[in-house]
Amino acid sequence: MASSSRSTPVLQYTPLNDIPKIREHLKATFSSGRLRPLDYRRQQLLRLVHLVEDNSARFTEAFKLDLGRHPLETTATDVNSTVADLMYLYDNFEAWTKPEKPPFNFQFWALSPVIRRVPKGIVLVIGPFNYPLISTLCFLGAAIVTGNACVVKMSELTPNIAAVVTELLPKYLDQDLFQIVNGGIPETTTALELQWDHVVFTGSSAVGRVVATAAAKHLTPTTLELGGQCPVFCDPKMDMYLTAKRLLWSKAMNSGQTCATVNHIFIPFEAQDVLAEAFVKVYSEFYPEGPEKAPISSLVTDVAFKRVKGLLEKTKGEVVCGGQLDEGRRFIAPTVLKNVAIDDIVMESELFGPILPIVPVQSVQDAIDWTNSHSHPLAVYAFTDDAKFKNYIFDNTQSGQFVVNDTGLQGAIPTLPFGGVGESGYGMIKGKYIFDTLSHLRATCESPRFLDMIMGWRFPPYTVSSAIILFPKR
């Protein structure tokens, strides 16, 4: 059971010597074909859904201990979203497993070409601290429906949540196929030294490089869900109250510790003060008694708190609202800054915290040029009702996703691919996309006996008539 104290969670790290044994045991069970029947996959997936639903109260308590997150946020962003994604897989995976005929090709129709989606083998999922259910259990669910065995490495930065999952998983799922590994850098390093059939990692670009390098030694395919400096391009003619309301909600969610949240806002100089005033109004509506008394999440570690605090101390931007700190509970109020220069310290890298800089620019092209001179973000956001403005931003930037007049909601749509480009990651997740990611698309064909009547020219001895058949005059 998860501890009731943040400082003393009951989380046992996996002995290093056990990690290779876990992989070998899962490999043997996978090879036995136990997960081949679709009925067994369906049963295991449904048990995973029950794991989340039956224990939602325990999860909300663990999230409160580890991240200071309000139960409503936990329910919406991790519990309900995880169940929704798993049920989407449950409702559709059987149809996705059916053999697929490729487009008709007159030359090769006789070979009856078919694509079959088959399991890859053993999947390693390395989860993050910020959304530790949806970014681990949904991939576990995808491994189940694709017929793969799976090891999940929970984040050690959220030990209470990891402890609950570790306790519950063997009570619900087949431990010969699905297991948890807990620990820090040594345990993760040991796991990455082994050969897997696919690795899914969610986290920072820096650690993503380490994961990709380790996987490359075994030629293991990887899916990297990273992040980046996701910009907002704000049309000066846009409704500023609506803009401020949606952006402040997004930035305050999980205290800004979200890969696809807005990093900064580009807006023409002449519209900056109007947007700042809208933020002040929305801020007072969101937190009528002040942010200190509001149910705002905490930073995950003391290191994270000190990093964000240091940014606020060094920035030359002006505080519009927020800025309150409480080191004892790792709390930093959502803080909106204005008059932030493009070379300010808060613009040097992904903020991953509750700071929201407003960056005034001379033109939208200046903002696009700055964005394109940096790593491609996970998402680009445009707030506008002008189709020309929207299309110009879309056509002149690159990102994993493009969203108009909101932020973050794209990650909840099961029928849309979710993933980055360049340093914001690679590989697609959600629904059919994660199903295909964790499947091997095995090309099959079957040559009939009569084929030699059509393709007899391929056999020696080669003759003039063979050449005429192969290279007919046009």
Q: Which residues are catalytic?
A: 225, 259
Tell me how far apart the 2 most distant CA atoms of the chain are, in Å: 91
CB 424 within 8 A of CB 418: no
| Rg from Cα positions in the chain | 26
Of 44, 214, 95, 143, whose CA–CA distance to 429 is shortest?
143
User: How many residues does this entry show for the chain?
Assistant: 474
Question: Per DSSP, what are the bridge partners of residue 403?
Answer: 381
**d(Cα 319, Cα 346) in Å, to the nearest integer?**
13
Pairing assessment for the beta strands 264-268 and 318-321 based on DSSP bridges: unpaired
3-state helix, strand, coil in the chain (%, to 5): 45, 15, 35
**d(Cα 46, Cα 173) in Å, to the nearest integer?**
10
Q: What tokens appear for 137 in the block? A: 């259990």
**d(Cα 417, Cα 429) in Å, to the nearest integer?**
6
**d(Cα 470, Cα 284) in Å, to the nearest integer?**
77
Of 202, 197, 191, whose CA–CA distance to 220 is shortest?
197
Give the count of alpha carbons within 13 A of 253, CB side only.
Answer: 25
Cβ contacts of 129-132, under 8 Å, gap ≥ 24: 129/66, 129/67, 129/155, 129/157, 129/158, 129/257, 129/300, 130/67, 130/254, 130/257, 130/258, 130/259, 130/300, 131/77, 131/78, 131/202, 131/254, 131/258, 132/78, 132/158, 132/161, 132/162, 132/165
Q: What tokens appear for 41 in the block? A: 């996959």
Close Cβ partners of 228 (under 8 Å, ≥ 6 residues apart): 205, 259, 263, 350, 375, 376, 377, 378, 420, 423, 424
CB 244 within 8 A of CB 281: yes
User: Which DSSP letter does residue 458 get?
Assistant: G
Close Cβ partners of 422 (under 8 Å, ≥ 6 residues apart): 375, 376, 398
CA distances from 69 to 17, 81, 134 (A): 35, 16, 15
User: Which DSSP letter does residue 461 get?
Assistant: S
